[in-house]
Amino acid sequence: MTAAHQQAPRTAAPAPARTQRAGAAPAAPPAGGLATSHRQRSATASSGRSGPRRQRVAYLYLLPALLLYTAFVIAPWLHTLELSFYRWDGVTAGTWAGLDNYRQVLTDPQLMGSLWHALGYIGFYTVLPIAAGLVLAAVIGRARQGRNFAVARTVLFLPQIVPLVAVGVIWRWMYAQDGTVNQLLDAVGLHSWTRAWLGDFTWAYVAVGLVGSWVMLGLCLVLFQAGIQKIDTSLYEAARIDGAGPVREFLSVTLPGLRAEIGVAVTVTVISALASFDVVYVTTGGGPGDTTTVPGLLIYRLAFTGGEVGTACALAVVLSLLISLVVLAIGRLTRERA
């Protein structure tokens, strides 16, 4: 055989990969994959079961506080609601009155007048302290002299520590005919302005309201100062670079940064205004006439001296609903938008 007829050796071609036939069972995954998949399913099921369990445990921790709140707040309020439908003097057996007590609350001029007086006190307990507290907090924050203003903060916050009965006694003495207020007016040549402030039909309401403003000012100031400290200082620096003055800086940086604190201050002060009792009772007792009466004072009179427990309970329910509605409205208005 010649070389021309010699053939090159043939190499074996690789066998084509076998494709899985239709209908054949899939290949089994490796054993490690099965274990991993099983662990993942177990962890998912365990986490799903642990969610409700954790919630139950959290409720168990809250249970003591919830029991106390139910015993001392919810249960008495429900009992007050029940008594509001009866005509009862607090001693003898009561008789069913239906909605008569509520009708009396909404139609009696004295009872409705007390509700309007409480709403009017919002201007003194809320608007004035918050406005003054914002200005003072901004001035103190801009001055950056904490030691110089520490004494002022302490003095302004003292009414929150002193009992309101003591506050009422102090201001009753200051508003007297020979009290501090009239002495100061005499000293500056305003003798014609001196008067018995708490006995004047025109000025008694204003005089009591200003006491509430003084009481709430320290609380608002401390809240706003704490809020200013959490505002990023770079915002103030950027405002100054853009040429903003103190007023513009306050309106553009400080005021938006204090939105949450303003909401808290409005809520607390509005509740104090609507539920006021101590200062009015000690200073004027609701007088002269009915010019300074508030719902809390009339509830006390009706229940403990007037023998009209049902009417007092109806007024208390109306007052609590009014406070709840106002607080809910404030919360909706001051809620931070996403």
Cα–Cα distance, 260 to 268 (Å, whole number): 13
Cα–Cα distance, 244 to 195 (Å, whole number): 46
Q: What is the pLDDT of residue 50?
A: 60
* Residue with the two structure tokens 């809250």: 62
Q: What is the pLDDT of residue 57?
A: 86
Asked, for residue 120, whether it belongs to a domain, the answer is yes
**H or E segment to which residue 86 belongs:** strand 86-87
Q: What is the pLDDT of residue 109?
A: 93
CATH code (residue 104): 1.10.3720.10
Contact by Cβ (8 Å): 201, 288: yes
Work out how many domains the chain is built from and give that number. Answer: 1
Asked, for residue 7, whether it belongs to a domain, the answer is no
Task: Specify the DSSP class assigned to residue 179.
Answer: S
Asked, for residue 295, whether it belongs to a domain, the answer is yes
pTM of the complete model: 0.79
Asked, for residue 26, whether it belongs to a domain, the answer is no
Nearest to 298 by CA among 79, 123, 113, 74: 113
* Series of mean pLDDT values for 10-residue runs along the chain (338 residues): 44 46 49 53 54 81 92 94 93 91 94 94 96 90 63 80 92 93 93 92 95 93 90 88 87 89 93 94 93 95 93 95 92 69
Q: What is the pLDDT of residue 42?
A: 54
Domain with 111, as residue range(s), is: 95-334
Asked, for residue 206, whether it belongs to a domain, the answer is yes
Asked, for residue 234, whether it belongs to a domain, the answer is yes
3-state secondary structure of 222: helix
Question: What's the residue count for the chain?
Answer: 338
Alpha helices in 188-294 (DSSP H): 204-229, 233-241, 246-249, 255-257, 259-274, 278-283
Asked, for residue 235, whether it belongs to a domain, the answer is yes
Q: What is the largest CA-CA distance in the chain?
A: 148
Asked, for residue 16, whether it belongs to a domain, the answer is no
Strands 95-96 and 86-87: antiparallel
- DSSP per residue, 69-84: HIIIIIHHHHHHHHHT
